[in-house]
Amino acid sequence: MLEQQLLNALTLGSVYALFALGFTLVFGVLAVINLSHGAVFMVGSYVALALVTQLDAPLWAAMLGAALASGGLGLLVDVLILKPLRVRNAPHLIPMIATIGVAIMVTSSSQGLFGAEIRRFPEETLPAADFMVGAVHVRVLEIAIVAIAFLLMAVLFITLKRTQLGRALRAIAESPKAAYLMGINVEGLFHVTSFVAAALGGIAGVLIGLDFNAITPQMGQPILHKGIAVIILGGMGDIRGALIGGLFLGFAEVISKAYLSSQMGDAVAFGLLFLILLVRPSGLFGRVLERKA
Amino acid sequence: MSKLLSIRNVGKSFGGLHVLHDVSFEVPAGSIYGLIGPNGAGKTTVFNLVTGLLPPSAGAIEFQGESLVGLPPHKITHRGVARTFQNIRIFKEMSILENVMVGMHDHLAYGGLGLFFNTPAYKAAERRARERAFELLTWVGLAHKAELVADNLSYGDQRKLEFARALATEPKLLLLDEPVAGMNPSEKTALMEEIRNIRDRGYGVFMIEHDMRFVMGLCDRIAVLNFGRIIAEGTPEEVRSNPEVIEAYLGKEEAA
């Protein structure tokens, strides 16, 4: 029934949105399509799993640990790979290709370290509480996932809109050169952005890991494709667009799985996406991107 | 007059192309200094070297006696060098007020968390920044448009906003790259007044400009750059009567 599916869609969509948010933030500020974002997401869920199973950490601490680990990985990618390319004024495709290399390295290392099989959080570590709202079966876990995703998105949104840090990031997004000459530490904020975006991606990984309770080294790949779809749908670099696009994709996927074909959920969701792009080629909130060096 | 900016024996080459050779001059405090020369003479490159967007290949650049070479651009801004661009680079998607506030870095900590905890320090810093931004916008005559998105401004107003934004970084030296490009005569006259006003408030002004009448009427001293070399330096009268300058620059314009 519909209400139950809407709850599932909201849960999935809010995680997609959170994932896409980090992705679009890096694109907006660094002007790089960072294709290692899916691998960073996968690392987040493994780190949380390891903290829970090896150290008996509570879930909140595992999530914090995952955010730090993923954020650290994102920072490392920026310092070791993206920065040298920026210094050399590498053309736009080069950093994107380099991040594909990062994704492959991280994915295959995880496979070597953790094995290719599906890993799960032990049942007793997950919040088991649930209740009925009318005919809808609500898990507390789902409520927590939606709440965490929306809280993080709200904090990011307000930071960008209302703080000096946010003004500085928006200035860089428009023109790094002019931002530098306003006294903004552009390189430093590239690092901060890379860390925050990857930390959000890592938390999204933990949330998906909890929702489906299935963690594999390959789990970053499908969500990366969805993340690309979401930010193209929402408008590249647009924060609101990532939110709306993520929710849209979650709803399209869940509803088409439930009512059309359980096998073809992705096909229908991506088909809808093509239709929208035919009507609005620059995405829902897209504008023609003109960025000065 | 004490010197603010000193450029000594500076050279710049891109690959095998030598854009600047052995360029030396000094910009004193409290005056308006002009850098002129034909297109492609290397004027904007001088600005890019001073602001740290490019490293010099040779020579020394000092600001208030301290070397700027090797500093990242934002640190040079913090030392007190601000700049406007030849092709305006305001932040078009931000409000006019935000455009000015974004430059107030030393005076308003990055801290995002203060907002969420609504700390008194955050509120006070934000209020001071807004007040100062309004002061600057009032001075350039844009205060009534403060909340508008900057993209809506006319060309002349965008230039004024760039001025206010540059001054928000609290510079000691203001670099202006072709400030009157695309302006009509009355706008030029008004801007001339404003630049004098800026000087009289104690700022140093260093400008690149093509408009000879504007430069000659405004600058206290002028350096002439031709094919990457300084061919003359002095007061407008001295430069105007220098035969090499007439041949290289003014002569061509009269012939045109």
pLDDT at A290: 47
Q: Tell me the torsion sign for CA atoms B199, B201, B204, B208.
A: negative
Rg for chain A (alpha carbons), in Å?
19
Q: State the residue range of the domain holding A188.
A: 2-219
Question: pLDDT tens digit string along A112-149?
Answer: 998 889 999 888 888 878 888 888 888 888 899 999 99
Report the amino acid identity of residue A172: I
Does residue B164 fall inside a structural domain?
Answer: no
Which residue would you say has higher pLDDT here, A290 or A201? Answer: A201
Low-confidence ranges of chain B (pLDDT < 50): 254-256
Give chain B positions within 8 Å (CB) of A174: 91-94
Does residue B160 fall inside a structural domain?
Answer: no
A293 pLDDT tier (thresholds 50, 70, 90): very low
Question: pLDDT tens digit string along A254-267?
Answer: 888 888 877 777 88
Report the amino acid identity of residue B157: D
Does residue A251 fall inside a structural domain?
Answer: no
Helices A239-259 and A220-234: crossing angle in degrees, nearest 10, is 120
Does residue B161 fall inside a structural domain?
Answer: no
Residues β-bridged to residue B68? none
Does residue B162 fall inside a structural domain?
Answer: no
Query: Hey, which residues 119-158 in chain A have their CB within 8 Å of chain B?
Result: 155, 158
To test the contact with chain A by mutation, choose from B87, B89, B99, B104 the residue with the greatest count of A C-beta atoms within 10 A, namely B89
pLDDT at B172: 93
Q: Is there a single domain that holds both residue B237 and residue B176?
A: yes
Q: Is there a single domain that holds both residue B146 and residue B205?
A: no
Does residue B137 fall inside a structural domain?
Answer: yes
Q: Mean pLDDT, to the nearest integer, of A150-171?
A: 90
CA distance B240 to chain A (A): 33
Which residue would you say has higher pLDDT here, A17 or A277? Answer: A17
Span between the terminal Cα atoms of chain B, in Å = 38
pLDDT at B115: 60
C-alpha to C-alpha distances, B240 to B210, B236, B243, B249, B251, nearest whole angstrom: 14, 6, 8, 10, 11
Could you give the percent of chain A with pLDDT greater than 70? 97
Q: Is there a single domain that holds both residue B68 and residue B179?
A: yes
Does residue A104 fall inside a structural domain?
Answer: yes
The DSSP-derived string for A174-214 is H-HHHHHHTT--HHHHHHHHHHHHHHHHHHHHHHHHHHH--
Q: Is B102's CB within 8 Å of A182's CB?
A: yes
Residues β-bridged to residue B232? B224
Q: Is there a single domain that holds both residue B60 and residue B99?
A: no
Does residue B157 fall inside a structural domain?
Answer: no
Does residue A204 fall inside a structural domain?
Answer: yes
Count of structural domains, chain B = 2
Q: Is there a single domain that holds both residue B96 and residue B77?
A: no
Q: Is B85's CB within 8 Å of A185's CB?
A: no
**Residue in A closest to B92 by C-alpha:** A174
Could you give the percent of chain A with pLDDT greater than 90? 52
CA atoms of A192 and A138, how far apart (whole Å): 37
Contact of B176 with chain A, judged by CB distance below 8 Å, is answered with no
Residues β-bridged to residue B179? none
Given a cut of 70, whether residue A291 has pLDDT beyond it is no
Does residue B27 fall inside a structural domain?
Answer: yes
In sequence order, what are the residues at sequence separation of 6 or more whose Cβ sits closer than 8 angstroms to the Cβ of residue B173? B4, B5, B27, B63, B80, B81, B82, B203, B204, B205, B206
Q: Which of A165, A170, A182 sits opposite B112 (nearest CB)?
A: A165
CA atoms of B221 and B215, how far apart (whole Å): 9
Q: Is there a single domain that holds both residue B9 and residue B74?
A: yes
Does residue A42 fall inside a structural domain?
Answer: yes
Main-chain dihedrals φ then ψ at residue A146, nearest 5 degrees: -60, -45
Which is it for strands B221-226 and B32-36: parallel, antiparallel or unpaired? parallel
pLDDT at A292: 40
Q: Mean pLDDT, to the nearest integer, of A267-277?
A: 81
3-state helix, strand, coil in chain A (%, to 5): 75, 5, 20
pLDDT at A287: 60
Q: Is B110's CB within 8 Å of A165's CB?
A: yes
Give, for B224, the enclosing helix (H) or strand (E).
strand B221-226
Reported pTM: 0.87
pLDDT at A172: 93
In sequence order, what are the residues at sequence separation of 6 or more whose Cβ sits closer than 8 angstroms to the Cβ of residue B91? A170, A171, A174, A175, A178, B98, B99, B102, B150
Q: Where are the alpha helices (DSSP H) in A31-162?
A: 37-55, 59-77, 83-87, 93-114, 140-162
| ipTM of model | 0.82
CA atoms of B117 and B113, how far apart (whole Å): 6
Q: How many helices (H) and strands (E) does chain A have?
A: 12, 2
Question: pLDDT tens digit string along A52-95?
Answer: 999 988 989 999 999 999 999 999 999 999 999 998 888 889 99
Q: Which of A11-15, A158-162, A260-264, B39-43 has the lowest mean pLDDT?
A: A260-264
Q: Is there a single domain that holds both residue B8 and residue B116?
A: no
Given a cut of 60, whether residue A288 has pLDDT beyond it is no
Q: Is there a single domain that holds both residue B55 and residue B178?
A: yes
Walk across the sheet containing B3-14 and list its strands: B17-28, B3-14, B58-63, B66-67
Q: State the residue range of the domain holding B56.
A: 3-85+172-255
pLDDT at B183: 80
Does residue A70 fall inside a structural domain?
Answer: yes
Q: Is there a single domain that holds both residue B183 and residue B57?
A: yes
Q: Find the Cα–Cα–Cα–Cα dihedral A292, B5, B7, B12, rounded to 10°.
A: -10
Does residue A240 fall inside a structural domain?
Answer: no
Span between the terminal Cα atoms of chain A, in Å = 52
Count of structural domains, chain A = 1
Q: Is there a single domain that holds both residue B70 and residue B119?
A: no
